Chains A and B, each alone.
Chain A
Amino acid sequence: MKISVKKMMMGAVALMSAVALAGCATSTASSKGNESKGNTIKIGMNMELSGAAAGYGAQMKQGFQLAVKQINAAGGIKVNGKKMKIETVIRDNKSTTSGSASVAAQLAGSDGVSAIVGPATTNDGTAAIPNITKAQVASVSPSATDPDYTLQKNGKVQPYVFRACFENNFQGETAAHFADNTLKAKRVAILEDNSSDYGTGLAKAFKKAFSGTIVSQQSFQEGDKDFNALLTAIKDKQIDAIYAPGYYSEVGLIIKQARAAGITVPIVGSDGMADPKLAEIAGDANASDIYYTTPFSSKAGATNKLAKTFMTDFKKEYSTEAPTFSALAYDSVLMIKQAIESANSTNSVKIAKALAKIKKMPAVTGEMTVNAHHDPEKPIMIEELKAGKVVSASEQK
């Protein structure tokens, strides 16, 4: 009730101001989007901080806060020759689409932010698009991977939607080529997380690009703990490898239970696995012959200076190894910073335009260029785990 009254009031205000502005048509052009009013730039976060995806959301919040803290410590972002600090507005969408839509409206509306980081999942992200598009405020999602997330129904790109992560097709294809060329696998079983677009999208892309036989395709749900039945069912099918796109919380258990059941073939997965927790859940002894595609490698420090500082700083701040989701959220803030600087403005419309033009920006997850579909182009790695440790990270072409 409260909300609808508020909405009606807002509608009435909008109507009245429209009437008032009708007299002076020239002033409407400059009032597009949000602009910072004081000495700070407001950046919002629309994030899954409670509910099913809260585990990943919390990691992204940490990466986001670390980035903002470091930028502010260095004086802020330079706009028009003046350094402006970032002010954050962090709101919880409760891992729901309705929550995400209303958080987006709040951030872009009453909070008046210049840009938004989030949401984490494709579903929640898609629900936020109408509100941010109406308010003309760009959002950068650290982890919404569905290929169509940044596109409109007619195939045109969504002008205010960006992401810092790979889209599914790219990751799934890379994994398929790896299984073909490096593992020389002929028979593969797929275990997909069918509770998210992420898992099903990756499985689909893998299936399309893999040249061997898919012996069996089984699915599981987020939150499942028992995979013994699935694994027993595929054990006798003479498989050379398992492709298991999903998050570390489930794939960690798949690894543990597969090894306990005597399945020793390589297990290949995606960046949802790129987390130190994977080996903790699987058990170090079980986590061998594990491969996954990822934009961010803990070995990346050797070649990428930014990644090295990020990992040290993250460990100092939160006393734990930096997970991939935190790195992606950190990069989302860097993208927004870069866009504000090159637009030389805090106007949200100009920031969105500048985000689309990002080229060769140094980032924790590799030097990135935003392409015509608003997807980042950056190097993809495959990490290998042996006895719970990352032993190698090779860049894939």
Chain B
Amino acid sequence: MQTFFQQVINGLSLGSIYALLALGYTMVYGIIKLINFAHGDIYMIGAFWGYYVINQYHVDFGVALVSAMAVSAILGMVIEYLAYRPLRHSPRITALITAIGVSYFLENGMSFLFGANTRNFPQVIGQARYTFFGVTITNIQLLIVAVALVLMVGLQLIVQHTRMGTAMRAVAVDQEAAELVGIDPNHIISFTFGLGSALAGAAGVLIGLYYNSIDPLMGMVPGIKAFVAAVVGGIGSIPGAAIGGFLIGLLETFVQAIGLSAYKDAAVYIVLIIILIVLPAGLLGKNVKEKV
């Protein structure tokens, strides 16, 4: 039983990272129907930024986290402006291929400029372990789950209760109609990329601190898993992405717990296939349709 709860803790801390990443995918998809494959690499840039400011300027964790979010947000907006905006009226496949290109550009660009080596992330927060009824949880795991939840609630508030959020939802429903009532879609799309990328940047710094290891290719696999999480939750749905993230994290953990570690990635993709066949709109996909 203790082992079971220990695995739940492991799954939740892994899942919160996937959830943060999945939110970015789902928001961008919801608004311009683009699967932004470069999203995982923005997460990598966030981690490298955290690494850089902590090593160079000896800032504390909070500053590193917030500045990484800001840098990632700006990067996300720049990518949108340079790579995706000129293709706004092209076929969707063109934008998709461009997204893959941007992803490769960021990965190999970072390898080229800073080297492909794995490096250790400065441990600005000392690790402490707490044991409750035989289940161990570290302060960093608590921090990851807490930061992830705070950011998700904050995001939900922005989307549901601010003018910007209302405009985002309007553009998601019908871009032309939104334009007719005076919303500038370019602004809103740019804002959405910024918001999603900020979450990815935060996830990058959290992962750096948690695992103490970052490298230029670190965004590849989590990026794809987060995409699966977004699809499982219902792509376009914000609560769905959060739930999907936690589900994928728990799934991966339990597949390993029962001794099928060789199939942990396969299990994630099998779930993707099943969801696409049985429930193509995802778990919470219906909500989006009703909104429309």
Contacts and interface: CB of A to CB of B under 8 A. Distances in A.
Given A58-B115, A220-B261, A233 B256 contact: yes
Given A50-B111, A55-B116, A228-B10, A221 B3 contact: no
The residue among A57, A229, A253 with the most chain B CB atoms within 10 A of its own CB is A229
B156 interface: no
5 closest A-B pairs by beta carbon, nearest first, are A54-B116, A229-B256, A249-B118, A228-B10, A229-B253
B259 A233 contact: yes
B97 interface: no
Contact of B220 (A216, A223, A262, A277): A223
A261 interface: yes
Interface stretch (B84-92, B189-197, B205-213, B227-235): B205-213
22 contacts: A50-B112, A58-B115, A59-B117, A219-B261, A223-B217, A228-B253, A229-B257, A230-B256, A232-B10, A232-B257, A233-B256, A233-B257, A233-B259, A235-B3, A236-B3, A248-B118, A249-B213, A256-B211, A262-B136, A277-B118, A281-B213, A283-B212
Interface of A: 50, 52, 54-55, 57-59, 194, 216, 218-221, 223-226, 228-230, 232-233, 235-236, 248-249, 252-253, 256, 260-262, 277, 280-281, 283
Nearest to B9: A228
A319 B221 CA distance: 32
Contacts of B256: 218, 229-230, 233
Nearest to A227: B256
Contacts of A220: 261
Contacts of A249: 118, 213, 215
Interface in B1-15: 3, 6-7, 10-11, 13-14
Given A54-B116, A59-B117, A262-B136, 16 more contacts: A55-B116, A58-B115, A221-B221, A225-B207, A225-B213, A226-B14, A228-B253, A229-B11, A230-B261, A232-B257, A252-B213, A277-B118, A280-B119, A280-B120, A281-B212, A281-B213
A220 B254 CA distance: 14
Contacts of B136: 261-262
A226 to B, nearest CB: 5
Contacts of B138: 260
Contacts of B212: 253, 256, 281, 283
Given A55-B215, A226-B211, A283-B212, A221 B265 contact: yes
Interface of A is mostly: helix
The contact size tier of chain B is: 35 or more
B108 interface: yes
Contact of B116 (A50, A261, A283): A50
A220 B262 CA distance: 7
B41 interface: no
Nearest to A54: B116
A228 B252 CA distance: 11
A261 B212 CA distance: 15
B217 A229 contact: no
Contact of A55 (B11, B117, B252, B257): B117
B161 interface: no
B112 A253 contact: no
Nearest to A59: B117
Interface in B107-155: 108, 111-112, 115-120, 123, 127, 129, 136, 138
Contact of A50 (B108, B119, B213): B108
B70 interface: no
A277 B257 contact: no
B73 interface: no
Contact of B3 (A54, A232, A256, A260): A232
Contacts of B261: 218-220, 229-230
B71 interface: no
A229 B7 contact: yes
Contacts of A59: 117
B252 to A, nearest CB: 7
Contacts of B127: 260
A188 to B, nearest CB: 16
A62 B253 CA distance: 39
A253 B120 CA distance: 10
B23 interface: no
B75 interface: no
B218 interface: yes
Contacts of A52: 217
Interface in B252-292: 252-254, 256-259, 261-262, 265
A230 B115 CA distance: 30
B122 to A, nearest CB: 10
Given A58-B115, A232-B6, A283 B211 contact: no
Contact of A283 (B7, B10, B123, B259): B123
Contacts of A260: 127, 129, 138
Given A283-B123, A283-B212, A219 B262 contact: yes
Contacts of A262: 136
A235 B135 CA distance: 12
Contact of A281 (B118, B129, B218, B265): B118
